[in-house]
Structure 1
Amino acid sequence: MNISFIGAGNVASNLGNLFTNAGHSVQFGTHNPKDNQLSVAEVISFGEVICFAIPFSAMDAVLTENRENLKGKIVVDITNAIHISDWSPVFLGEDSGGEQTARLLPESKVVKAFNTIFADAMKAEKQFNGQKLTAFIASDDQEAALVVKNLADEAGFNGFVVGGIKNARHLEAMAHLNIAVALSGGGTDAGFIYVQNKN
């Protein structure tokens, strides 16, 4: 599968490496020509799945500018609404970044995923007491959610679909909790594991 990343930071790089190791073709694109990456338009054209790993504050402009090219694509929103300066949350009330993305891209298959996992934990060797971190997934498009779940599983996570895109607000709250724990001493080499009793 061709997978594109908008953004070239640690999340994009580490998650992209996991997808590459799983046998997928991955490209990166940014707006900055100094990054020596493809342009955003070029990388969107390449990908079947388009992953956004850019600051939340940039999402509205980038999505609006590229709305036409994103039609019919699976769009994975990995962002969290935080202030970059100190990682504090941007409060969105009864809304979420994922839901905003879905409203901006009504003709795309929007999925919220991977936002609860730190970049430091997006590495092939990472296991936590022999268990895989859970990659929570929210989307109104069940087929797109399943595609992303399979990608998460192939990347070494336990993909878990939590329901529709409205649940993105819960995933983003989990990310804020993850950040708060990290800043209070838990660090970023950590994450959530959802355990089900299947007996």
Structure 2
Amino acid sequence: MNITIFGKGNMSQAIQGNFEASGSKINVVTRENDAALGDIVVLAVPYPAVDDIIARYGEQLAGKIVIDITNPLNFETFDELIVPADGSAAQEIQAKLPNSTLVKGFNTNFASTLATGKVADAAQTTVLLASDSADAKAKIAEALTGSSLNIVDTGALKRARELESIGFLQLTLAAGETINWNGGFSLHK
């Protein structure tokens, strides 16, 4: 499968490694380079950078599965989300990209847990996906089949609100040194 990742940070690299482990072809897009977009597009950038990507690539994103990994934190105070309490960044992005299929995912993971496939060097890393498209979630799970990740379908895109709250909690706990950056959440059946 052809995957495009916007961003070049730790999360981008960790996500790239997991898709590559499954045999996908990866194309990384940054401000310095442009490229054709793949079947699945990952927004591995801070939430404030998403609008610029939409402005530049909105038409090219039509018909694509777009994975939003953002956590819409107030980076000045680090004590609140900057989206309405009854919504999510993912829902706002979906409204701006009505011809794309949006999936919330990877936002409850740290780069180290994605790179190693383990939470706290013990439990398998779980990636939570929310979308109104069961087909899109299935395609992402298929594209990650060769990775060491546990993929869990959490339901409709409206569940992104809870995923963003979990991501926010996890980030504030790590920033406050309550948990390590290799810690986090894992689900077991």
| TM-score, normalisation: structure 1 | 0.86
**Maintained 8 Å contact 1:87/1:179:** no
Letter in 2 for 1:191: G
- Tell me whether 90-99 or 166-175 shows the greater mean CA deviation: 90-99
Residue 112 to residue 134, structure 1, CA distance change in 2 (3 Å): same
User: 2:83 aligned with 1:92, yes or no?
Assistant: yes
Residue 169 to residue 127, structure 1, CA distance change in 2 (3 Å): closer
Aligned to 1:11: 11
Letter in 2 for 1:170: E
1:1-199 alignment, distance < 5 Å: 1-31=1-31, 33=32, 38-39=33-34, 42=35, 45-84=36-75, 87-93=78-84, 94-124=86-116, 126=118, 128=120, 130-185=122-177, 186-196=179-189
SS at match of 1:116: coil
- Tell me whether 103-112 or 127-136 shows the greater mean CA deviation: 127-136
Question: Using CA pairs below 8 Å that are at least 6 residues apart, which structure has the higher relative contact order?
Answer: 2
Letter in 1 for 2:161: R
Task: Tell me the percent identity.
Answer: 28
Letter in 1 for 2:10: N
- Tell me whether 143-152 or 1-10 shows the greater mean CA deviation: 143-152
For 1:128 and 1:188, the matched residues in 2 are separated by 9
For 2:42 and 2:132, the matched residues in 1 are separated by 17
CA deviations over 1:26-73 (Å, ceiling 9, x no partner): 111111x2xxxx32xx1xx24111000111011123213321101111
For 2:72 and 2:182, the matched residues in 1 are separated by 21
Shift of 1:17: 1.5
For 2:108 and 2:93, the matched residues in 1 are separated by 17
Q: Over aligned residues, Cα RMSD in angstroms?
A: 1.9
CA deviations over 1:3-43 (Å, ceiling 9, x no partner): 11011111001110221122111111111x2xxxx32xx1x
**Maintained 8 Å contact 2:18/2:144:** no
For 1:9 and 1:161, the matched residues in 2 are separated by 26
SS at match of 2:82: coil
Which ranges of structure 2 fall in alignment gaps of 5 or more residues? none
**Maintained 8 Å contact 1:18/1:124:** no
For 1:163 and 1:125, the matched residues in 2 are separated by 23
- Tell me whether 143-152 or 97-106 shows the greater mean CA deviation: 143-152
Letter in 1 for 2:140: V
